[in-house]
Chain A
């Protein structure tokens, strides 16, 4: 590792991660912290022999604690003691305590797995053996990923931006590449306008639209705003090929790549280029992908901006953790690459469908560095529907599996051990599909077939498994809590498991199969029939688990009364699975989107100038490409439909935009911009989406994680999922008997009539209420199965 990577000081790193103002000072600066610091500062660590001796002793003790056979009683006591210790140190801030908790967690999980391997496999019976081995393999996978995850995130680097030199002559030339294929100009336009507004010497900045769709509309737009338009005569290798073709036609020292819907902040280059100037071996610097619209999980569960989304663990923690080990990888957008190094590895990799991660891997193999700055410097649209989200994850999973096969990070030259581990985890992570399904179905092997997949008493299983699960949850909640709430990984993975496991397996056996599918963005949820496809596997698993539950109850009371504890254990497991599956149903309940332009929350000063020359100071609450929502100091300040002018401010510069009042509600005024010329459009993007501080307070409304709260959240969404399911079934039955069709229901005329009818009678009123109910849940997934 080179000398540029300086680990953050311990107190600092920990305190920031686990900061809590209500925490008494003794947990920050208390006796235990002093002992720990004294231990760390001990001069003996300077000598190699002491270090080796300590290491050997540690490993010896660790092995002993993992393998020591204990009677059931003592195992229970041991589990309680270690967990109590973990809970005790949990209250202290600091990285060292996190590491201690990690060690306890690894210890308990390893002990569990060791016990599973040595004492709970029964290969004498055919069914027990097969199911048992499958479960054990799934658990082994989970154990490996758990440990690799700890390694990866043990100490996030939290790299700060490196200041730029004062002398502008030293600033390098940069090409901003914006590849596009089939996206609407409406989606690409704000990105280009924002790129034009990036604070960088104009003569050292080249902005290129790379149009693989070869559209005249784009050529004209590029010409009108004065950016370069590049197209090629083929679409070979999709995005990677598009970028490579552009690399041949451009010459800047650095290349910044933005997906066509990622709107850069004006500070993007100044925040990122500094590190390249400091470290000549720096090949790539990545910044987070921040999403200004909810992803399907957030939209369908209604958790936008409250619960960290699926991607946030990766951008908030994992990439920052990778950075410590010099293993941050390229994510395809919102990143800067050094052209010389990029060309040295042969441009953007084309062998796999995740060209980005593979490119970074190639850089690392040649001994170059990468970096990550965890400050959102661009924002884009999230995938629109669950089906598209799934499609995108399938591509990632397939690509990662391809890299794992074609250019395995564990093999080959150039990487250090930690880089190999980090890359392996990034790829292994995507193999979760099969293990996750095994866990969702495992208890059924007993409930259906009486296969005793874990050959031990229920009490023994609890004595070994509970500490393992409890430690993993408590420790991960401490490490990841700010970026992923407890138990949400179960939901995210369960939802995608079925879809991800096939492509990963296919790619593992034949990496050449599979094509690049573009992630469509910027539209409305419309391909309704896909929802049925998406929902089917969960429903089947749900049905199986419900059947298992019923059989289990029968076993508990009649058939298997002699082993009630085993039945209860499997029933509890099934109920847990039903909770997770219910939540996936809630995710699959697509909430229809109303807007094409996404409303983005904001809070900035604005002035509304009325036609008469009066002006009112107000606050802009949200904006979209087309308009602005304003919070006025009092009601009735602007008449509906009046022509107004809106001032927005950037620093002490003021920009004025013509607009019209289109909605009034209390003190809220909605305006729509009218007749903006190109300069005004550019200014508007600069004042809103491209503000340097636009995305800094995005996690402000976050609830704090606690393992039990996480479980409660999931249970809540699960209940909602079952509620949706209930409505759907009831509605479907009703439609079946009455012959109603969905088309009629959405027809305004029909609705008007039914409303009038409904007003007449009590029964009608009830029906009206019911149909309203149905309306609210009409976006439910299965309705579309018939279209």
Chain B
């Protein structure tokens, strides 16, 4: 099983949107793709057309000590998904404490599932979720926005990655993608340029542009590839997933 962790140093960078759409694009390229939401916001399922009132998710499966099978849904877009689940504050604290004590929790649960290309969406910044995910991820995709604040976190992300993934033999590498890019803003272009020069091949071949179609797609509970296939964002996502596919296939 190939595990791709999608992380971001800060919130609000559109990480969930990027992971869902990349998953759909990879599925369209013939992969069996699963996406796991490890973000307590539990927002990922909305992108894939899940019923709003459904509270099921991996948190409940874990607390009830049953298999994730019961939380895995099929979407209309070729991707299966496991939501985080809607939980109370008490449940969340219990769950996170459990994770802190069970370092192999994620590994064991995934091992029980069918072998698929698995994308895992995480909450922003360091957390128990990120720890679990990074320690088993084969490939890490860092989603950034082209502003100075994101760029300033580059060093801490790199050391985080080095700590969890650095010496693992099953780790393919970490890659970066810029989201919410606006070619009209000089600062965005400059950040893109410095990221390119410091990351080289590790930066995705194109940034994902800021595009209203993305927000509209969410309102329609569809991936943007489905909702507005000719939009700039969809085009960018296609390119990034081609590139990601090559990275996966290389290993």
Residue of B nearest to A616 (CB): B230
Question: Residues of A contacting B183 with CB < 8 Å?
Answer: 647, 654-656
Q: Is A412 an interface residue (CB 8 A)?
A: no
Q: Does B118 contact A (CB under 8 A)?
A: no
Interface 1/0 per residue, B34-46 and A, CB below 8 Å: 0000000000000
Least Cβ distance of A673 to chain B in Å? 14
A278→B234 CA distance, assembly (Å): 48
A642-658 interface mask toward B, CB cutoff 8 Å, 1 = contact, 0 = none? 00010100001111100
Interface contact A607-B232, CB-CB below 8 Å: yes
Whole-angstrom distance between the alpha carbons of A617 and B206 in the complex?
Answer: 14
Q: Interface 1/0s, chain A 311-355, versus B by CB < 8 A?
A: 000000000000000000000000000000000000000000000
Q: A620-644 toward B: CB 8 Å interface, digit per residue (1/0)?
A: 0000000000001110010000000
Complex: how many Å from CA A613 to CA B184? 12
* Contacting pair B230 A652 (CB below 8 A): no
Contacting pair B211 A615 (CB below 8 A) = yes
Residues on A with C-beta less than 8 A from B196 are: 652
Contact of B189 among A609, A615, A616, A654 (CB under 8 A): A654
Q: Which residues of chain A are near B232, meaning CB under 8 Å? A: 607, 609, 615-617, 647
Q: Is B251 an interface residue (CB 8 A)?
A: no
Looking across the interface, which residue of chain B has its beta carbon closest to that of A612?
A: B212
- Bound-state CA distance A617–B225 (Å) is 13
Contact between chains at B206 and A615 (CB < 8 Å)? no
Residue in A632, A654, A655 with the greatest tally of chain B CB atoms within 10 Å = A654
Does B189 lie within 8 Å of A617, measured CB to CB? no
Produce 1/0 per residue, A33-50, CB < 8 A to B.
000000000000000000
Q: Mark B211-241, 1 if CB is under 8 A from A, else 0.
A: 1110010000000000011111111000000
Chain B: CB-nearest residue to A618:
B230
Chain B residues whose CB sits within 8 angstroms of the CB of A633 once the complex forms: 229-230
A612 and B212 CA atoms in complex are apart in Å by 7
Interface size for chain A: under 10, 10 to 19, 20 to 34, or 35 or more residues? 20 to 34
- Chain A 521-569 residues near chain B, CB threshold 8 A: none
Q: Nearest CB to that of A634 among chain B residues?
A: B230
A contact residues around B14 at 8 Å (CB): none
Q: Is A595 an interface residue (CB 8 A)?
A: no
Contact status B184-A645, CB under 8 Å: yes
Q: A652-B196, A653-B189, A655-B183 are in contact. Are A607 and B230 (CB under 8 A)?
A: no
**Is the pair A607, B212 in contact by a Cβ cutoff of 8 Å?**
no
Residues of B near A634 (CB, < 8 A) are 230
Say yes or no: is B173 at the interface (Cβ < 8 Å to chain A): no
Closest Cβ of chain B: how far from A649's Cβ, in Å? 9
Cα–Cα, bound, A618→B230 (Å): 8
| CA gap between A613 and B210 in the complex, in Å | 8
Chain B CB within 8 A of A701 CB: no
Contact indicator B212/A652 (Cβ below 8 Å): no
A616 touching B231 in the complex, CB below 8 Å, given contacts A652-B196, A652-B206, A653-B189? yes
With an 8 A cutoff between CB atoms, is B86 at the interface?
Answer: no
Interface residues of B in 178-210 (CB under 8 A from A): 183-184, 189, 192, 196, 205-206, 209-210
Q: How far is the CB of A460 from chain B (nearest CB, A)?
A: 71
Residues of B within 8 A of A653 (CB): 189
- Report the Cα distance A378→B186, complex, angstroms: 29
User: Residue A738 at the B interface, CB < 8 A?
Assistant: no
**8 Å CB contact of B212 from A613, A632, A645, A656:** A613
Q: Could you tell me the distance between the alpha carbons of A72 and B18 in the complex, rounded to whole angstroms?
A: 85
Evaluate contact between B228 and A614: CB separation under 8 angstroms: yes
CB distance from A634 to the nearest CB of B (A): 7
Looking across the interface, which residue of chain B has its beta carbon closest to that of A655?
Answer: B183
- Known A-B contacts A615-B232, A617-B235, A652-B196; A607 and B209 likewise in contact (beta carbons under 8 Å): yes
Measured CA separation A645–B211 after assembly (Å): 13
Would A652 and B205 be within 8 Å (CB), given that A612-B212, A615-B231 are in contact?
Answer: yes
- What's the minimum C-beta distance from B96 to chain A, rounded to whole angstroms? 37
Q: Name the residue among B189, B212, B216, B228 with the largest chain A CB count within 10 angstroms.
A: B212
CB neighbours of A615 from chain B (8 A): 209, 211-213, 231-233
In angstroms, Cα B231 to Cα A618, docked, is 9
Known: A607-B232, A634-B230, A652-B205. A614 touches B212 (CB 8 A): yes
Instruction: Give B188's nearest chain A residue, CB to CB.
Output: A654
Given that A633-B230, A654-B183 are known contacts, is A613 also in contact with B211, CB under 8 Å in the complex?
yes
Residues of A within 8 A of B184 (CB): 645, 656
Within 8 A of B (CB), among A87-120: none
- The interface centre, meaning the residue of A609, A632, A633 with most chain B CB atoms within 10 A of its CB, is A609
A87 → chain B closest CB, angstroms: 50
Report the minimal beta-carbon distance from A129 to chain B, rounded to whole angstroms. 77
Q: Shortest CB–CB separation between residue A667 and chain B, in angstroms?
A: 11
Q: How far is the CB of B161 from chain A (nearest CB, A)?
A: 24
Most buried by B among A607, A616, A617: A617
Q: How far is the CA of A654 from the CA of B178 in the complex (A)?
A: 14
Q: Which residues of B contact A655 (CB under 8 A)?
A: 183
Residues of B within 8 A of A613 (CB): 210-212
A172 CB to nearest chain B CB (Å): 27
Q: Are B230 and A617 in contact (CB under 8 A)?
A: yes
Closest residue on chain A to residue B185 by CB atoms: A656
Inter-chain contact A614/B230, CB cutoff 8 Å = no
Q: State in angstroms the CA–CA spacing of A612 and B216 once bound together.
A: 11
Residues from chain A with a CB closer than 8 A to the CB of B231 are: 614-617
Chain B residue nearest to A613 in the complex (CB) = B212
- Most A Cβ at <10 Å: residue of B189, B228, B235: B235
From A615, A632, A652, A655, name the one whose CB has the most chain B CB atoms within 10 angstroms.
A615
Give the complex CA separation of A615 and B211 in angstroms: 6
Nearest chain A CB to B119 CB, angstrom units: 24
Q: Which of B205, B206, B211 contacts A614 (CB 8 A)?
A: B211
> Which of chain A's residues has its CB closest to B205's CB?
A652
Considering the chains assembled together, what is the distance between the CA atoms of A613 and B214 in angstroms?
A: 10
**Cα distance, A228 to B213, chains bound together (Å):** 47
Most chain A Cβ neighbours within 10 Å, of B229, B232, B234: B232
Q: How far is the CA of A645 from the CA of B234 in the complex (A)?
A: 18
Q: How far is the CB of A288 from chain B (nearest CB, A)?
A: 33
Question: Which A residue's beta carbon lies closest to that of B216?
Answer: A614
Interface residues of A in 589-624 (CB under 8 A from B): 607, 609, 612-618
Of chain A, the residue at the smallest CB distance from B238 is A617
Rounded to whole Å, the gap between the CB of A655 and the closest CB of chain B is 7
Q: Quick one: which of A614, A618, A652, A656 contacts B213, CB cutoff 8 A?
A: A614
- Complex: how many Å from CA A85 to CA B231? 61
By beta carbon, the residue of chain A nearest B215 is A613
Q: Mark B86-105, 1 if CB is under 8 A from A, else 0.
A: 00000000000000000000
Q: List residues of chain B with CB within 8 A of the CB of A632.
A: 230
A-chain residues with CB within 8 Å of residue B229 when the two chains form the complex: 633
The CB with the most chain B CB atoms within 10 A, among A616, A634, A637, A655, is that of: A616
* Nearest chain A CB to B87 CB, angstrom units: 34
* B207 CB, min distance to chain A CBs, angstroms: 8
Complex Cα distance A637/B228, Å?
11
Q: Which residues of B contact A617 (CB under 8 A)?
A: 230-232, 234-235
Alpha-carbon separation in the docked complex, A91 to B206 (Å): 48
Mask: chain A, 501-527; 1 = CB below 8 Å from B; 0 = not: 000000000000000000000000000
Return the chain A residue nearest B232 by Cβ.
Answer: A615
CB-CB nearest in chain A for B193: A653
Taken together as a complex, chains A and B put the C-alpha atoms of A594 and B216 apart, in Å, by: 43
Report the Cα distance A652→B229, complex, angstroms.
21
Give complex CA distance A617, B229 in Å. Answer: 9
Question: Can you list 5 pairs linking A and B with CB atoms under 8 Å apart?
Answer: A614-B216, A615-B232, A617-B235, A618-B230, A656-B184
User: A residues bordering B, Cβ < 8 Å?
Assistant: 607, 609, 612-618, 632-634, 637, 645, 647, 652-656
Excluding A613-B210, A647-B183, 17 further A-B contacts by CB distance (< 8 Å) are A607-B235, A609-B232, A613-B211, A613-B212, A614-B231, A615-B213, A615-B232, A616-B232, A617-B230, A634-B230, A637-B230, A645-B184, A647-B232, A652-B192, A652-B206, A654-B183, A655-B183
Ranked nearest first, the 7 interchain pairs of A and B with the lowest CB-CB distance are A613-B212, A654-B183, A615-B232, A633-B230, A656-B184, A617-B235, A614-B212
